[in-house]
Structure 1
Amino acid sequence: MEASGEGTARQITFVGEPVLHRPCQDVTGFDEELAALVADMFASMYAAEGVGLAANQIGVPLRVFVYDCPDETEEYRKGVVVNPTLVLPGHGERNLDDYDEGCLSVPGQRASLARPDRAVVHGFDVTGAPITVEGTGLLARCLQHETDHLDGMLYIDRLPAERRQQLLAAYEASKETADEAAGEQASAAE
């Protein structure tokens, strides 16, 4: 994998890999190993051109995510949340934002998904200090999306079954096309 500044970009895990489909473990050590993981997560997120990344998206089953994402004012906010707890507005205070969502672990696919337009995450920074992140707009969606990952859920799991199956079929078809193209290139190079 390529190095990027402080961290090393790692391979993104894709839908179907077990680490993405089960809850992650709490982080218990706020040490150099965690700092190195976070650096690799930022490098991986930037290499994949994402705005958020959960640890299990690079195969590590720990409750930590990073983000570099705009809020509703288009101001970019960057950070890391360890052992997050998501708090959403109550049903009477909740406004849903219906927006096309995608995921680095289901590349090439997007679907409209309604989520609350505000979210708060409580957790810890990389040193173990308590933090609270309040998000609006795309940042609110990102906080919810990444916390879902740590709970073993992908955004496609929130879609109606028929729409989810359509996306998975399109994803599988795109993988087959890419594999065929790679095979043709390898044959032409021989």
Structure 2
Amino acid sequence: MALLPILTAPDPRLKTISEPVEAVTDEIRSFVDDMFETMYDAPGIGLAAIQVGVEKRILVMDVVGKGQEDSEPQPIAMINPEITWVSDDDAVYEEGCLSVPQHYADVVRPAEVKVSYLDTDGKSQEIHAGGLLATCVQHELDHLDGILFVDHLSALKRNMILRKLLKQKKQAS
């Protein structure tokens, strides 16, 4: 396994719409393992392939035990995920992102979703998600469509965050 470099905004690759995975191969499974290692190391609760520069419809998540040291990890890998249903109710969560480091904002999203996807064995799966899992899966699916959580904010807030990130990148260079 290997740690992968995480892209940060305003990297233009983060605005790319990811391509479907043709077949779940050993190479894809190995990449998923690397994504999990990278996500846990960051540390984060979700990571989309495009965040590590790979334009494939793959995401990984683990929201169980967030902030609870004694909880067992429950990793979920989704290949070619697709939202098939959204609830009428909304939920607000303070979101952050490994590609938008040290910035957080409240984002309104559907409170529950159903998602169909392929697992790492290439088998079709579906989950009904609520709470933090619903927020996380929608956040990561947005990445696959070239959308960052800041795109859900007002133009003023979004531009302020992106200007700060650009300034940090310039200072680091």
Per the normalisation by structure 2, the TM-score is 0.89
| Count of aligned residue pairs for this structure pair | 168
Asked if the contact 1:70–1:138 (Cα under 8 Å) also holds between the matched residues in 2, the reply is no
Residue-by-residue CA offset, 1:22-45 (whole Å, 9 max, x unaligned): 210000121110011100000110
Residue identity matched to 2:99: S
Residue matched to 2:57: 63
Residue identity matched to 2:132: L
Name the CA distance, whole Å, in 2 between partners of 1:121 and 1:139.
Answer: 11
Q: Aligned-residue CA RMSD in angstroms?
A: 1.9
Q: How big is the shift at 1:150?
A: 0.5
Q: How big is the shift at 1:135?
A: 1.3
Asked if the contact 1:109–1:170 (Cα under 8 Å) also holds between the matched residues in 2, the reply is no
Name the CA distance, whole Å, in 1 between partners of 2:21 and 2:169.
Answer: 34
Unaligned stretches of 5+ residues in structure 1: 1-6, 181-190
Unaligned stretches of 5+ residues in structure 2: none
Please, which of 77, 80, 86 is the counterpart of residue 80 of structure 1?
77
**Where do residues 50-129 of structure 1 align in structure 2 (5 Å cutoff)?**
50-70=44-64, 77-89=74-86, 93-129=87-123
Matched, 1:14 2:16: no
Asked if the contact 1:52–1:146 (Cα under 8 Å) also holds between the matched residues in 2, the reply is yes
Residue identity matched to 2:33: A
Matched, 1:29 2:36: no
> Stretches of 4+ moved more than 6 A in 1?
none
Residue identity matched to 1:11: P
The share of aligned pairs that are identical, in percent, is: 35
Asked if the contact 1:19–1:60 (Cα under 8 Å) also holds between the matched residues in 2, the reply is no
Q: Report 1 or 2 for greater relative contact order, CA contacts < 8 Å, sequence distance ≥ 6.
A: 2
Name the CA distance, whole Å, in 2 between partners of 1:78 and 1:155.
Answer: 22
Per the normalisation by structure 1, the TM-score is 0.81
Asked if the contact 1:97–1:116 (Cα under 8 Å) also holds between the matched residues in 2, the reply is yes
Asked if the contact 2:9–2:100 (Cα under 8 Å) also holds between the matched residues in 1, the reply is yes
Residue identity matched to 1:170: K
Q: Which has the larger radius of gyration?
A: 1
Name the CA distance, whole Å, in 1 between partners of 2:53 and 2:96.
Answer: 19
Residue identity matched to 1:129: K
Q: How big is the shift at 1:173?
A: 3.7
